[in-house]
Amino acid sequence: MKTDFLSFLKPVTRSTLLPTLLSLSVIGLSACGGFDDLDAARAAGAGIGSTVTNPNQPVDPEIQSNWRYSSSETDDTIFSVTANNNAINSFIEPNTNLRAIPRVELKKQLVNNFIVESVSIIAGGAVVCLPSCDVRIRFDNQFAIYRMQDSGDGILKPANSNIEAALFSKFTTSNKAIVSLPIVGFGNAFDAEFDLRNYDPNQMSISR
């Protein structure tokens, strides 16, 4: 008996094929989860090794800012707020051969009912700064030399409270900064560039 090959296709019509394809698409999306779920988890501070208690981004999504904020609180009392700003350029760390991105970290803490401000420059690699060194920083169009100390792991801290206060003010009121970092293994200092625009002081308020 001769079999008509097209007869096998007759039961599959447009009315039956389209719902079937839609059902398969829904099942596939449900199984994968999609990137939206992963991005939402990252924005909420979730994930392996996350220590952010309350991450906050700029209130107005139209405002472009390189600052990222986080806070820690207990019983409606915020006792620590932090602002981080990553450099817009990077370098290859000589010891690990990995790409490193310098970072500026500003912090306010409530200590004995006083607000203490601190500045840290995380170089991203070992620095030539024992026990202290002069670091050249250009804020907008003004150059200055700041005495810094290596607090370990390539983290530079101001040598005294006066320098710390001056740097905190400069980092929060300037539009850009270039920090010349004395990275170990570099013939010249690495100029880390920071976009400091649109710092939000409201994100850095502390309730007593």
pLDDT greater than 80 at residue 34:
no
- Does residue 1 lie within any of the structural domains? no
pLDDT greater than 60 at residue 53:
no
- Write the single-letter amino acid at 58: P
- Does residue 110 lie within any of the structural domains? yes
Between the alpha carbon of residue 173 and those of residues 30, 55, 74, 158, 204, the distances in Å are 46, 22, 29, 18, 14
Domain count, the chain: 1
Query: The pTM is what?
Result: 0.70
- Does residue 41 lie within any of the structural domains? no
State the Cα–Cα distance between residues 206 and 115, nearest whole angstrom. Answer: 8
Mind listing the pLDDT tens digit for each residue in 169-192?
Answer: 999 999 999 999 999 999 999 999
Which range marks the domain in which residue 106 is found?
A: 56-204
So what's the pLDDT on residue 37?
Answer: 32
Lowest mean pLDDT among 28-32, 62-66, 99-103, 186-190: 28-32
